[in-house]
Structure 1
Amino acid sequence: MALHPAPLKAEAGAEAGSLRAHMGVASCAGSTCHGRSVASGTPVRQDEVLRWQEESSPTGAHSRAWRVIGEPRGQSIARRLGLDSAGVVRECAGCHASRGAEHLADGVDCEACHGNAGAGTGGGWLATHYTVGTSHARNVAQGMTDLTVPRVRAGVCLDCHLSGDGPGQFIAHRIMAGGHPRIAFELDLFSTLQQHHDEDADYVARKGHKTNSLQMWAIGQAEAVSRSLALYMQPAKANDGVFPEFTFYDCHSCHRRIIDSDEANVTAVPNPGRPIHAGMPPWNDENMILLLAAARVAAPGEAATFDARAKAFHRAMGVGRSETVAAAQALRQAAQGLSARFAATPFTREQAFAVIDTIASDAISERFTDYEGSVQSVMALDTLLGGMVNAGMVSAGGAGNLRLQINQAYAAVRDPNGFQPIAFRRALGGAVRSIRSLR
């Protein structure tokens, strides 16, 4: 069993794609392409650049990615990390920009997600993707990243929204200790926030299908588990000097009040999914919990294996490095198997409701002992409900009437320092009971 996996790749052909020229936002911004000021184009909106630059919406977050480095919070983080201007480029540009140091102001641009568009080894898709008779398949063959494939999209997004192998793409604990926001990601929800297109009849004709939000969510959970384990298996990323790399662990296992008196009150709540003693820092298992919930509905035969391997992985960290890597590899194989299984699963209305019920079941909800996993569960409910609306499984009006309960669950995880697991479970249960009423 190999203990040193090969570097991660977001998609097949990524190496060849990297040899194509990066053309930049200006190459997409013509008024006859994606630079219109109103969405009046056919077959695409043609105002995509404007939406990418939207100042008042999360839709514009990618365009602002490099700018935030120069704002007060970004500058204070750089000072705490002891970074000069070259160090900022080295440590931050891997996620906050798409091109070389000479084009940092573009932030995370079109080609960061869609792939380098210029000619090079294997050709390029910029000059032909708008020609008469072209197709999505042809664009992909010429190097465009096929973001309609959930596993491909997850690989692209996770590079920055969890961590990747590229320069400046590993979000270590020291970066968050310097003031960087904690890392939280859910593939379908974040995709929706960044969506610059309409999934209308024309979209279906060109792409072959609409996005299945429920499938996207489930695959995102599987790929996040797989990515975190793959990174941990690399010795250079698993350790920070003599210490473990704490970015892999749950923040609140250490960031709790410390009381040394006889009146010490233990605030940690036992997690049955992590069979470890109280003195061990627990792995951040937010995606493992939600992946298990999805597996119990869509792949019940594999769910027990995944659960057993997850517990074995947690236990192995109390034994030694080689045992932990072996357990991580076995768990990653199970996660990848679930990802492939989900890719062939239609995720029906009944399955969607069953997943929601499973998230709130005693077997799953008792694992929401920590802030990160609880946040992930609320995002899951929001995503699954929104996905059912988009798929016509429930009415928009009925779902809208439940917004109060969803917001109450979000409120229960608004303050990481005031998080209370038992109170959160009550809020989660209330939201799920309300969603169940739509069934």
Structure 2
Amino acid sequence: MAESTAASLRAHMGVASCAGSTCHGRSVPSGTPVRQDEIARWQEDSSPAGAHSRAWRVVEGPRGREIARHLGLDAAGVQRECAGCHASPAAATGRGRLSDGVDCEACHGPAGGWLSTHYAVGASHRRNVAQGMTDLVNPATRASVCLDCHLSGDGRGQFIAHRIMAAGHPRISFELDLFSTLQMHHDEDADYVQRKGGRTNSMRMWAVGQAQAVTRSLELFSQPAKASNGIFPEFTFYDCHSCHRRIIDGEDAHVTAVPNPGRPIAQGMPPFNDENMIMLLAAARVVAPNLAGEFDARAKAFHRAMGVGRAETVTAAQALRQSAQALSTRMAGAEFGRERTFAIMDAIASDAISDRFTDYEGSVQSVMAIDTLLNGMVNSGMVSTGAASGLRVQINQAYAAVKEPNSYRPIAFRQALGGAIRSIRSLR
């Protein structure tokens, strides 16, 4: 009996259960206390806001079919390999509809325990969470949910191996606040503030997201079953750009790699993808300077251990995970005001950090970070919309410097990033 009750509380109810005209199924945002057009926004075909609903269609589209062909997957294989991220977890196990893509409960949690009560008089966010709703207000919890698909997870079909990207899948990159903003289907009005205990602090969300991304990548890397692919290491953990460069064998050949002070490894050795480590260190130098030194030392020790052996690397990864988790906890409880956010942006462009922008992935993260942090200050009223708009040219120049990985040049990028930061400093 107890098992039956527990199963019903974890039951997946489906999109239709949310789509009533007095719930989330209106065509216009005319409801209170929620918009009530959330389903329409989730289904929006013309913007990133509808990407989750389109997730399974992507698998069934031309590119998805081509990837499946390269991987040699039949229909059952496609569902096994792709449904873990391109559909609700319930659909991956046969309890939901693949055609719904990443549905409401994929993020908010199975609704069996809270669907019938979350709109009742006296309902609260705390009670909903106690009944099984996922607490997406908590940055670490939200990051964990998003990372399952936008980096990799332990669930069935949630590990994005290098062979999948080699077959044509886009490269994996993650930034919590930016991705959250693109998928936000609610308004943070006075009612939201009252129910959820305050507005979202985008700067804190960004920082915790970076820490959780580091933690997740090291956690997966430490698992023997995921760390190798036959006799080879699993390349999904490594920096793509360190290998995907031009090869010139003639007399004009020259080394294109740029020394990276954050990676004490031998030349020619593929480095672990440290894009989130670089961003976390920049935030730590400002928010938790007493922890930053240890994190940096452990990150370097982790890279160095790569040249020694598997056992040594896993030990170093576990120590680095502990530091990243400590920083996540510190970031979650820290204030991210105007001066601190400006200081983090300065840290990202400082010599100590920008010298580590030697490869494409870390550079992309830095531009997303600057954009996210500036927008967070605008949304919090710390910087005016007009003042921020005046800096768009410089930020777009930084984006242009990482628009295409094959044309990426580290020194040119650092100059573009520095120009954007110098302009942003004028707002102080």
1:206 to 195, 212, 230: 195
1:109 aligned partner: 103
2:237 aligned partner: 248
1:72 to 62, 70, 73: 62
1:420 to 398, 405, 409: 409
1:88 aligned partner: 78
1:31 to 16, 21, 34: 21
1:231 aligned partner: 220
Distance (Å, rounded) in 2 between the aligned partners of 1:73 and 1:19: 37
Displacement of 1:17: 8.4
Distance (Å, rounded) in 2 between the aligned partners of 1:399 and 1:430: 15
Kindly tell me: are residues 17 and 245 of structure 1, through their superposed partners in 2, closer, same or farther at Cα, counting changes over 3 Å?
farther
Find out whether 1:127 has 2:116 as its counterpart: yes
Distance (Å, rounded) in 2 between the aligned partners of 1:242 and 1:343: 40
2:38 to 48, 62, 87: 48
Displacement of 1:19: 6.3
Displacement of 1:79: 0.3
CA distances 1:312-347 after superposition (whole Å, capped 9, x unpaired): 000001000000000000000000000000111011
Distance (Å, rounded) in 1 between the aligned partners of 2:43 and 2:239: 34
Find out whether 1:182 has 2:171 as its counterpart: yes
Distance (Å, rounded) in 2 between the aligned partners of 1:389 and 1:279: 43
Displacement of 1:259: 1.6
Distance (Å, rounded) in 1 between the aligned partners of 2:14 and 2:47: 22
1:332 to 321, 326, 341: 321
Distance (Å, rounded) in 2 between the aligned partners of 1:249 and 1:280: 10
Segments of structure 1 that go 5 or more residues without pairing to the other structure are 1-15, 119-123
RMSD (Å) for aligned C-alpha atoms: 1.0
Displacement of 1:354: 0.1
Displacement of 1:263: 2.2
Distance (Å, rounded) in 2 between the aligned partners of 1:44 and 1:260: 62
Distance (Å, rounded) in 1 between the aligned partners of 2:10 and 2:204: 31
Q: What letter is aligned with 2:51?
A: A
1:7 aligned partner: none
Distance (Å, rounded) in 2 between the aligned partners of 1:226 and 1:209: 27
Segments of structure 2 that go 5 or more residues without pairing to the other structure are 1-5
2:292 aligned partner: 303
CA distances 1:212-242 after superposition (whole Å, capped 9, x unpaired): 1110000000000000000000000000000
CA contact (8 A) 2:9 2:111 kept: no
Find out whether 1:287 has 2:281 as its counterpart: no
Distance (Å, rounded) in 1 between the aligned partners of 2:220 and 2:8: 21
CA contact (8 A) 1:408 1:427 kept: yes
Find out whether 1:354 has 2:343 as its counterpart: yes
Displacement of 1:262: 3.0
Kindly tell me: are residues 400 and 331 of structure 1, through their superposed partners in 2, closer, same or farther at Cα, counting changes over 3 Å?
same
Distance (Å, rounded) in 2 between the aligned partners of 1:418 and 1:228: 27
Secondary structure at the counterpart of residue 66 of structure 1: helix
Quick one: percent identity of the two aligned structures?
A: 78
2:47 aligned partner: 57
Distance (Å, rounded) in 2 between the aligned partners of 1:97 and 1:90: 11
Secondary structure at the counterpart of residue 354 of structure 1: helix
CA distances 1:27-54 after superposition (whole Å, capped 9, x unpaired): 0001000000000000000000000000
Kindly tell me: are residues 230 and 365 of structure 1, through their superposed partners in 2, closer, same or farther at Cα, counting changes over 3 Å?
same
Kindly tell me: are residues 241 and 17 of structure 1, through their superposed partners in 2, closer, same or farther at Cα, counting changes over 3 Å?
farther
Q: What letter is aligned with 2:18?
A: C
Find out whether 1:404 has 2:398 as its counterpart: no
Distance (Å, rounded) in 2 between the aligned partners of 1:412 and 1:253: 17
CA contact (8 A) 2:391 2:424 kept: yes
2:353 to 342, 350, 364: 364
Distance (Å, rounded) in 2 between the aligned partners of 1:19 and 1:47: 26
Displacement of 1:61: 0.2
Kindly tell me: are residues 93 and 18 of structure 1, through their superposed partners in 2, closer, same or farther at Cα, counting changes over 3 Å?
farther
Distance (Å, rounded) in 1 between the aligned partners of 2:25 and 2:426: 44
The TM-score normalised by the length of structure 2 is: 0.97
2:372 aligned partner: 383
Find out whether 1:218 has 2:207 as its counterpart: yes
1:269 aligned partner: 258
Distance (Å, rounded) in 1 between the aligned partners of 2:249 and 2:395: 38
Q: What letter is aligned with 2:273?
A: N
CA distances 1:364-407 after superposition (whole Å, capped 9, x unpaired): 00100000000000000000000001111100111111111111
Q: What letter is aligned with 1:315?
A: R
Displacement of 1:18: 9.7
CA contact (8 A) 1:17 1:115 kept: no
Distance (Å, rounded) in 1 between the aligned partners of 2:211 and 2:73: 35
1:5 aligned partner: none
1:136 aligned partner: 125
Secondary structure at the counterpart of residue 55 of structure 2: coil
The TM-score normalised by the length of structure 1 is: 0.94
Displacement of 1:70: 1.0
Secondary structure at the counterpart of residue 377 of structure 1: helix
Distance (Å, rounded) in 1 between the aligned partners of 2:179 and 2:85: 16
2:3 aligned partner: none
Displacement of 1:434: 1.0
CA contact (8 A) 1:17 1:143 kept: no
Distance (Å, rounded) in 2 between the aligned partners of 1:222 and 1:95: 22
